[in-house]
Amino acid sequence: MQRRYTARFAVLLVGAWLTLMLGAIDGPTMIVVGAPMVLLVAIGLLWPRTPFGPFQLAPVGSAICFEGDSIELSLALTELGTQRYRVEIRTGGVLLQTLRVESQTQTVAVVFSHFGSYRLDESRLVREGPFGLFDDLVKPVSPTPVKVFPGIEDVHSITRAADAQFAIGRHRSTMKSHAGLEFVDVRQAVPGDVLADVNWKITARTGAVWLNQRSSDLPLDLIILLDTFPSKVLNSLTRMAANYARAHLRNFDRVGLVVFGGTIGWIPPASGRYQERLIAERLLLVKPYETAADKRIDLLPRNAIPRAATVVVMSGLHDRRIVQAIKDLRFAGHQLTVVGPFQTQGSARGTSLAERLTTLIGHQLLEDITRLGVGVVDVKDQAVSTIVGSTRVD
């Protein structure tokens, strides 16, 4: 049990101290006037610390929801005295809700407005002291964590494999499928391309090698590479990654995840609802981690990014190490698309020198990756764009 003195007690303590100081100068009259404050301070300091509790705080039913939803929490106390009690529900240093305790067992609905994994061990049962001078606090007993997944949004696919592999569940065929029959577009060949579908007419007319792009109806091996280097857009990128993975898994594609930043982690590609849950729970643990260490794709095992996989990089291009990783993946022959809110717009007036320099660096980084034939999709920070819509699906 802990004791926390309130602001009212602090005011009374200062008042009592000033009263004693002025009484020593002006006489006993001032001491008589300040006697009530001195008495209340003495009560607050000498009141016995009687232990109480413990209490339990646990979700009613499932401990999983989407951001913006509410979960009912069950509150159970072993004893309830004559003093006033309240419960402060806290997580991560943030006060979510305060409620008055009226009985030994009751239920309260708490709204979780942001995705993440919430541990409720910071919650407190508060027993109010006399005259509101102090609060006695006790922690809950082994609270169950609450997992809040990013809200479901409409996602439109920005890539389709031109060289897919047939796969079922967590197993992949060793034979590659056909390149598809539906013609999509032509593009100029870049280093790392396999020259198996050359458009000879355009190549002869322009003098440069052009390739036909075709879509495949077979399942796609998709790797979502999430840039977790510290940036202000990390939450938006994580939300987009969760929705994009969910959309492709519901389309029976094989999806894997690579967390690339201060720390590196991976989930090999697979399909099914189990893979969806695995990726979602891994994204709940994403946090920025500042480090100056060299980070390269070579640190990943081979099964993290299969050779024929299409890679979608969720990044704001705020760190040159992620740009080097994109180049390494492109030269390894992967089809790449970079998605994120890029800071490439800024006016000469009304902005600081640092902001203008960041804008110029962003332009240069984008030019470096577009020269390699990497597709770029610029979205807004609010994740409402051609890739992610704003319609809520219940």
Output the pLDDT for position 180.
55
Output the pLDDT for position 387.
37
Output the pLDDT for position 74.
85
Output the pLDDT for position 61.
80
The Cα–Cα gap between 360 and 321 comes to 17
Asked if 229 contacts 318 with a C-beta cutoff of 8 angstroms, the reply is yes
Pick the CATH number of 55-149 from 2.60.120.560, 2.40.50.140, 3.40.640.10, 2.60.40.10: 2.60.40.10
Pick the CATH number of 153-180+216-392 from 3.40.720, 3.40.50, 2.30.30, 1.20.120: 3.40.50
Output the pLDDT for position 224.
93
Asked if 75 contacts 40 with a C-beta cutoff of 8 angstroms, the reply is no
The Cα–Cα gap between 305 and 117 comes to 27
Return the CA Rg of the chain. 30
Find, among 236, 251, 258, 371, the residue nearest to 312 by Cα. 258
Asked if 148 contacts 112 with a C-beta cutoff of 8 angstroms, the reply is yes
Output the pLDDT for position 348.
47
Sign of CA dihedral 302, 308, 314, 319: positive
The Cα–Cα gap between 82 and 237 comes to 50
The Cα–Cα gap between 149 and 67 comes to 6
Please give the DSSP secondary-structure letter assigned to residue 231.
-
Q: Per the omega criterion (within 30 degrees of 0), is the bond before 150 cis? A: no
**Which strands sit side by side in the sheet containing 55-59, from one edge to the other?**
55-59, 70-77, 105-111
Query: In this structure, what token pair is assigned to residue 167?
Result: 């796969």
Output the pLDDT for position 66.
82
Output the pLDDT for position 99.
85
Question: For residues 328, 329, 330 and 334, what is the CA-based torsion angle, rounded to 10 degrees?
Answer: 160
Output the pLDDT for position 104.
83
Find, among 387, 285, 291, 281, the residue nearest to 338 by Cα. 387
5 Cβ contact list (under 8 Å, min separation 6):
44, 133, 134
Output the pLDDT for position 233.
85
The Cα–Cα gap between 10 and 241 comes to 49
pTM exceeds 0.85: no
Domains of the chain, by residue range, sit at 2-46, 55-149, 153-180+216-392
The Cβ-side half-sphere exposure at 264, using a 13 Å CA radius, reads 15
Contacts 24+ apart (CB under 8 A), 82-85: 83/127, 83/128, 83/129, 84/127, 84/128, 85/125, 85/126, 85/127, 85/128
Q: What angle do CA 375, 377, 379 make, to 5 degrees?
A: 170
Per-residue pLDDT of the chain (394 residues; tens, 9 = 90+): 888 899 999 998 888 888 878 777 766 766 677 788 888 888 888 988 888 877 888 888 888 888 878 888 888 888 777 888 888 888 777 788 888 888 888 888 888 877 878 888 888 888 898 888 988 888 888 777 888 888 777 666 555 443 444 444 444 444 444 455 567 678 788 766 767 788 899 999 998 898 887 655 556 788 999 999 888 888 888 888 988 888 888 888 889 999 998 888 899 988 888 898 899 889 988 888 888 888 888 888 888 888 778 899 998 888 888 888 888 888 888 888 888 887 655 544 546 666 666 667 667 777 777 777 787 887 764 443 333 332 222 2
